[in-house]
Amino acid sequence: MCSKLLRELTTDIVRQAAATKPLPLQLQRRHFIMPPSQLGEQPSKVKIINNRHVPQLVLKYNPVKYYLSKLRMWKLRWTWDRGFKQHDFVEESKRAAVTLTNILRLRDMTNIDAYSTSNVYYQMATETVNFPHEAFVELLRFRQQDIRQAVPINVHLHNILGLKYAVIDVVLVGLRHVADCDSDEDLAKMKAALMEIEPEFRQQLEDPSAQLPYVFIELFMRFRRNYSNAEQISGQQLANHTNRWLVSVYKICRFNIFTVPPATI
Q: Is residue 235 part of a domain?
A: yes
Q: Is residue 14 part of a domain?
A: no
Task: For residue 2, give the DSSP letter.
Answer: H
Q: Is residue 1 part of a domain?
A: no
Q: Is residue 41 part of a domain?
A: no
Predicted TM-score (pTM) of the model is 0.74
Burial (Cβ within 10 Å: 0-12, 13-18, ≥19) of residue 12: exposed
Number of C-beta neighbours around residue 142 at 10 A: 21
* pLDDT, one tens digit for every residue, the chain (265 residues): 545 544 554 555 445 444 444 434 333 333 333 333 333 445 556 677 666 666 666 666 778 888 888 899 999 999 888 889 999 999 999 999 999 999 988 888 888 888 888 888 888 888 877 787 888 888 999 999 999 999 999 999 998 888 889 999 999 999 999 888 888 888 889 888 888 888 877 887 888 778 888 899 999 999 999 888 755 555 555 454 457 899 999 999 988 888 776 655 4
How far is the C-alpha of 34 from the C-alpha of 24, rounded, in Å?
17
Give the per-residue pLDDT at 67. 85
Give the per-residue pLDDT at 86. 92
Q: Is residue 24 part of a domain?
A: no
CA dihedral 83, 84, 87, 90 (to 10 degrees): 140
How far is the C-alpha of 246 from the C-alpha of 157, rounded, in Å?
15
How far is the C-alpha of 165 from the C-alpha of 96, rounded, in Å?
19
How far is the C-alpha of 154 from the C-alpha of 171, rounded, in Å?
10
Q: State which residues form the domain around 125.
A: 49-258
Q: Is residue 93 part of a domain?
A: yes
Q: Do the bridges between strand 246-258 and strand 46-49 make them parallel or antiparallel, or are there none, so unpaired?
A: parallel
Q: Is residue 263 part of a domain?
A: no
For the chain, give the number of residues.
265
Give the per-residue pLDDT at 58. 64
| Nearest partner of 190 among 131, 228, 241, 137, judged by Cα | 137
Q: 231-247: string of b/e by CB count within 10 Å (b at 16+)? A: eeeeeeebeebebebbb
Q: Is residue 6 part of a domain?
A: no
The total number of structural domains that make up the chain: 1
Reduce the DSSP state of residue 170 to 3 states and report it: strand
How far is the C-alpha of 56 from the C-alpha of 7, rounded, in Å?
69
